[in-house]
Every structure is written in structure tokens, then in C-alpha cells.
A = this chain, B = another copy of it.
Amino acid sequence: MGQLLTKERIRARAPAPVPKELLPLGQILDGDCIAAMRSLPDASIDMIFADPPYNLQLGGDLSRPDGSHVDAVTDHWDKFDSFATYDAFTRAWLAEARRILKPDGSLWVIGSYHNIFRVGASLQDAGFWILNDIVWRKANPMPNFKGTRFTNAHETLIWASMGEKAKYTFNYTAMKTLNDELQMRSDWVLPICGGQERLRKGGHKVHPTQKPESLLYRVMLATTKKGDVVLDPFFGTGTTGAVAKRLGREWIGCEREGLYRDAALERIEAALPLDESALKIMQSKRAAPKVAFGTLVETGWIAPGTVLTDKKRRFSASVRADGSLLNGTLTGSIHSVGAGVQGAPSCNGWTFWHLEHQGGWKPLDAIRQLYLLSTEP
């Protein structure tokens, strides 16, 4: 078993695989992740999922418009002196990760714009070969309260093999099935972790950055086989372990905070392998195609300056560059200006406003339908 010299091993000049009995399966290694990984043998892990500190570098306190306080990530483990310090830390854990991964294993890392560019460059430098970058589009992100930037509504994952020519596992058909018979894309719409799933103690969240199980579910289903060994060097409250158990994968974690370790063990203990019907519930729905009026302006379907009227041509308004309408001194969205000219409390601008199109007088909604048709796969 496993010690025989198979054709594949000879061709790959790979050493004999490490027997699973020598690995601390189903255990959370205490302490610093680099030291913990050092205790593992070479080429023994099938997949690593890493959620390292993001190095957020937050400024002062932040309040919502209603005056309530935003509970930020201020934990000591997210603090680094400089980019150089963070890079050194990143290179160190990536080197250990590379040593313990099998030649046909793969690496996942998740991050935000604060750290992901540094991590991505470092892992390329270390010899990893990027297979995809995946965008987790959050269905329900925190808004930008001060109106100073775009709402930070996504995080980025990198999926990489051991090298340009290295093999890796990708369950293409499973992904296609999960995505209603269309190829799974590099952008995934998933909700953030909350509700029942969020671990709480005394009314407070146990970990500030607990990841949703749906995210790990898709990662593991896509890029590991049943029985594979998955390592998470930043285990936290054990989402990776819980999902691994549910999907019949082996897991190993590294975590230095005792509070997190305890919560994770309790959680994983309670996790049950999923049956088929439960799997279906985990599937993500495809994002409903939603088109903002501004998109039609940006994409040239409706030119700025176009004059819109209502069906009976009693009212008119002109389109501006940002998709707002102008009627005398009245400006705003298609809905608010539609309401304004009628003196109505509200109005569906999509059906209220009309324009000349191909010889006919059509509601905006008809243009939106045409746009949607043109962008369908």
C-alpha cells in the first residue's frame, strides 16, 4: 500500500507517499503556524487553504450614519510594522506550505486589497503557478458609511498549483452541476457569515473574520478528492475543518489562540457529514440579472442628452451622463423624477419613461430587456 513504486511515482520521481497514520489528522496544532507546519513531513498534504491576517492598517474609529459604532478588526494578530515585515511573514509561511504540499497538491489563499497583491506576488516568486483568481462577491457587504469610496463588496482568492507543469485536482463536472449546467466562473456570489452559522459567545462573535461554510464548500468540492488531506494554517474557528468533515476530507489545523481552538473543536464535533439533499441547499443561486439605468447609459444603449417622455407625452426629461434625469430644476433618478413631475409619492421609472426606438415609442423597460438579451451567454 502506498509504498510500492508505481509507474506514476517513477515518472514523477516522487518519493513514497507519507502514510496517513503519520499525520495529525483531525487535530489543531497549537502555536505559530510556521512552527506547526515544520512538524509535518514533506509532500504530505493535498490542499492548503490559508486565510492569513489581512494587515488592515485601520485608522481611527468609524461610526455609522445612525451614530452606532462599527466593530472593527483591531486584534493584535492583524498588526504588522510595515509591508516588509508582512512580506517576510508571508514568504516564511509560503515556504513551509510549499514543502509540505504534494507535487500535485494546490494552494488557496484568501485576502483583500490590503494584502492580496503582496501575497500573490510572493507566491509567484516562491514558484507557485496561479490557476485562477476567484472573486467572492459578497451578497450583503458592509456599506461605505462615509461615501468616500466604492463599497468594498468582495474579497479575492488565489488558487495555485505547485508549478507551471504541475498536476492538480479540478472537479470540472461537479462545478458545472453546481452551477446549473454552466461552467463555474471565477466570480462567486455568496453571503457573508451570519445568523445561526456565526459562532457567538455571550452575544459577541467569537472570531472577527469567520468565513462562510459555503465558500469552503465550493473550494473543497472543486479542488480536492474524497479522503484528501486539507491543511489550514490559520484555522481560526475551524470553518475548514467543519466543511472537510462534512465532505469526507481529512483535515489538520494550526491555531495559536486557545479561545479559537476550543470553539473550533466544539463546532467540528457537532458537524455531520452532509447527505445529498443537504448538499442541494448549499448550492448558490445564480445572481439575478439586475440592470441599473446607468448601465444603459454607460454601455451606449441610451445616449446622454436623450429626451424621455411619459406615454402621453405630458412630461419630459433629459438624460445626463451619470444616468440622472433633468426636468427644469428637478433632478434625480428615473424613479424620483418620474414621481416628481407627477407629484406622486413614488413611480416606476422603467415603465413610466418612454423614448423613440426603431420607429416606435418604447418604455425604458423594453430597452433594458434588449440589453439583457444582448449580454446573455
Contacts from A to B (Cβ < 8 Å): 67, 79-80, 83, 112-114, 116-121, 124-125, 127, 130-135, 137, 139-141, 143-144, 147-154, 156, 158-159, 164, 170-181, 183-187, 189-191, 197, 212-214, 217-218, 221-222, 247, 274-275, 277-282, 284, 292-295, 297-300, 303-305, 318-324, 326, 329, 331-333, 335-336, 344-347, 373-377
Contacts and interface: CB of A to CB of B under 8 A. Distances in A.
A118 B118 contact: no
A324 B179 contact: no
Nearest to A342: B67
Contacts of A331: 282
A181 B335 contact: yes
Given A113-B133, A278-B303, A278-B305, 19 more contacts: A79-B127, A83-B125, A116-B120, A117-B121, A117-B158, A118-B124, A132-B149, A150-B159, A152-B186, A174-B321, A174-B322, A175-B322, A178-B292, A179-B292, A180-B335, A181-B336, A190-B299, A279-B304, A281-B320
A92 to B, nearest CB: 17
A185 B153 contact: yes
A375 to B, nearest CB: 4
A129 B154 CA distance: 18
Oligomer: number of copies = 2
A270 to B, nearest CB: 14
A68 to B, nearest CB: 11
A324 B218 CA distance: 14
Contacts of A187: 135, 137, 153-154, 187
A134 B112 CA distance: 11
A324 B221 CA distance: 13
A149 B170 contact: yes
B118 A132 contact: no
A277 to B, nearest CB: 7
Nearest 10 interchain pairs by C-beta:
A117-B120, A178-B294, A278-B304, A174-B322, A278-B305, A153-B185, A139-B375, A113-B133, A281-B322, A214-B298
